[in-house]
Chain A
Amino acid sequence: MSNILTIAKRELRGYFASPIAYVVIVVFLLLSGICTFKFGRLFSNGQADLYWFFFWHPFLYLLLCPALSMRMWSDERRMGTMELLLTMPITPWQAIIGKFLATWLIVGISLLLTFPIWITINYLGNADNGVIVASYIGSFLMAGLYVAVGAMTSAITRNQVVSFVVSLVILLLLVMCGWPTVTDLFVSWAPPPLLDAIAGCSIWTHFESIQKGVLDSRDILYFVSVMAFCLFTTSTIIRAHRAG
């Protein structure tokens, strides 16, 4: 446990020593503000909810999470520090979890810093804070999934750009496969169970149901199990890379 903490602390310090963390946080706040007020028409639609604030999160994360996570392991490989880290008396799991948690926390911090929007909406009208809390939790869980996918792709390559692009594509597919425009492509020929399975894999469908204010265990299970799968794959990739 303390090893995980040590690694997470180092990773956080690394994010804040470079402009990455600041850039990601500022861009997230700016974009979520623009999306909520400009495209979501928060003031004119007459509803005291944050639906249009959370609506954009799958897309904002699509850009920002891979930008955060792309260097997580690729940099370790490129700089050779992986050799240093993995010959320390720690298990690879502690390193994987520590790095993952630190990156997830950065997204968490950005999310927390959006609190003025919450205050605004409560000031303007009678907001359903239960729904908002559920959405925040859902958004945070979703961010964890994005970061876990990024961890996995950064372990594959020593090139950050490759890592960024690959995780972006994977995440885009995971978002899109729940959209009607995409599922319509399958409707004519795929059997309904397969259709459900494809749609069930989608980040979109799971996040949408949380956004309605219902923290369903199935949705939580979805996010957590994808995270676990990605981190497990990360450890497999790292082990395979070491074995040569």
Chain B
Amino acid sequence: MIQVRDLKKNFGPKTAVNGITFTVERGEVLGFLGPNGAGKSTTMRMITGFIPPSEGAISIGGHDIVENPLPAKRLIGYLPENAPSYSDMSVSGFLHFTAELRGLRGDAKKKAVHRAVEMCFLENVLHQSVETLSKGYRHRTCFAQSIIHDPEVLVLDEPTDGLDPNQKHEVRTLIRQMGEKKAIIFSTHILEEVEAVCSRAVIIDRGRIVANGTPRDLKMRSEQAGAVTIGLVDGNGEDVAAKVRQVAGVERVTVLGERPLRVRAFPKKNSGSDDIARALAELAKKEGWPLQELHVEEGRLDEVFRSITLPDTKKEESK
């Protein structure tokens, strides 16, 4: 549905986006990750046709957004950053206005507004002026605008920004549901959101894609991924670490903390974490350790994110 090829954007001498290529198919939810100023919003603005790209091509459902903007824009629902809306209008007035711009009239318009209001829980504030709304409601009003025409493509720039935890949960659920039938791109700073909602994630840094894969794939890139952690209610750190080190396939061992004693075993290359986990379980039984936890680390997205997007100089410093 969404095809982006070699996308570039220069603002004067500054390059905001530098050669981004990706596609999103129907039924996919693509998470856009990246530090502030990485080029996420700029990319989304180009996809939705607000700003023209300096180079490269974007096609929405087969329509080029620059050459043939109207049919392409018809397919898109867009929630811009900071969720703008006309503050002098009522929620209902605003939604009717956007529905009309989407070409909906009469009964279809009424139904579309009703549906969007229901999905975004806006019934209580329908006739209130946008100006008087809290940030969460304003945000949802703009979100309702983006789904009013039941678009095939949704572009959401930080859809959960400024919402309380309950609202965040609702919006995530909504995105996941809609993601089954639509092609969705959304950007976020919150990494747990990516794991909860996305079928695929892209990490952007300084205008380039630095990682692209399922959240699981990305987590596997973490240093911790595949390590086995064993936790004991009580015990001597050095003794336990020495015994764990002798298990086949273990490369090195670190003690994470005493009381409860937690020890992490990193596997050698090409050796399976599951085997180590099994061996450690047997070891614990044999030694009579008071076992509290034993699990294989999945890896952590924030660690991957940091290691990829931290500038090289800082990386050295932190080492």
Contacts and interface: CB of A to CB of B under 8 A. Distances in A.
A242 B100 contact: no
A244 B70 CA distance: 21
B11, B69, B82, B101: most-surrounded residue (chain A CB, <10 A): B101
Main secondary structure of the interface of A (DSSP, over half): helix
Interface stretch (A9-17, A29-37, A168-176): A9-17
Contacts of B73: 87-89
B84 interface: yes
Contacts, number: 74
B82 A80 contact: yes
Nearest to A85: B101
B76 interface: yes
Contact of B97 (A10, A87, A91, A244): A10
B99 to A, nearest CB: 10
A119 interface: no
A209 interface: no
Interface stretch (B86-94, B202-210, B262-270): B86-94
B76 A84 contact: no
Interface string B59-88: 000000000011101101010111011111
Given A14-B89, A244-B51, A79 B70 contact: no
Contacts of B74: 89
A18 interface: yes
Contact residue range for chain A? 20 to 34
Contacts of B9: 244
B249 interface: no
A84 B145 CA distance: 10
Given A83-B84, A242-B52, A244-B9, A89 B78 contact: no
Interface in A140-193: none
A86 B145 CA distance: 14
Contact residue range for chain B? 35 or more
Interface string A18-62: 100000000000000000000000000000000000000000000
Interface in A192-244: 242-244
A21 to B, nearest CB: 11
A6 interface: yes
B233 to A, nearest CB: 55
Contacts of A6: 97, 100-101
Contact of A88 (B10, B52, B102, B142): B102
A87 B89 contact: no
Interface stretch (B42-50, B223-231, B236-244, B288-296): B42-50
24 contacts: A2-B100, A6-B101, A7-B101, A14-B88, A17-B88, A17-B129, A79-B86, A80-B82, A81-B84, A81-B85, A84-B85, A84-B142, A87-B49, A87-B78, A87-B80, A88-B98, A89-B69, A89-B101, A90-B70, A91-B70, A242-B50, A242-B51, A242-B52, A244-B51
Given A84-B145, A242-B50, 6 more contacts: A7-B101, A14-B86, A14-B89, A83-B50, A84-B142, A244-B9
Interface of B: 9-12, 45, 48-52, 69-71, 73-74, 76, 78, 80-82, 84-89, 93, 97-98, 100-103, 129, 142, 145
